[in-house]
Amino acid sequence: MEIDKDLIHLRIDLIEKNLKLLGEIASEGYESFEKSYRDMMASKHALLESIEACLDIANHIIAVKGFRRPMDYSDIFRILEEEGIIDEDLSLRLQRMAKFRNLLVHRYAEIETRKLFTIMTKDVKDLMEFVKVVLRIIREQRPR
């Protein structure tokens, strides 16, 4: 079984659209952000979708390559680290992002506005770093 490039590219397109939206919202500044319920909700959703898309991509790679089955969302990135797909630093940052995904889904009312803004302005670069790794893997995949 080979990596499904169409599946991967659809997810990457979604990530890129969401990160563009997050950048536009963040460019208005924190003061504007904390006053806008719509921007906060849009940011939460864009982050959730982007993290989910990364998890989908990572799960697909794990399945195609026949790596061990993940125990939870954080473990997905730990497996990619174990298998040499991503380095330890990126793995740890993406594991934190997976934990944030759980907050977005299960404890959304507890998310502090400042933390949300920090993640959407600083930590989203980790998602793009993951995308770059995935694109490299796709390029290196030999056609049959």
CATH number at residue 18: 1.20.120.580
What is the pLDDT at residue 135?
Answer: 95
**What domain range includes position 126?**
5-140
- pTM score of the predicted model: 0.93
With left for phi above 0 and alpha for psi between -120 and 50, is residue 29 left, alpha or beta?
A: left
**Number of domains within the chain:** 1
What is the pLDDT at residue 144?
Answer: 52
What is the pLDDT at residue 140?
Answer: 85
Closest CA to 120 of 16, 67, 46: 46
Question: Which residues, given as ranges, of the chain have pLDDT below 50?
Answer: none
What is the pLDDT at residue 109?
Answer: 78
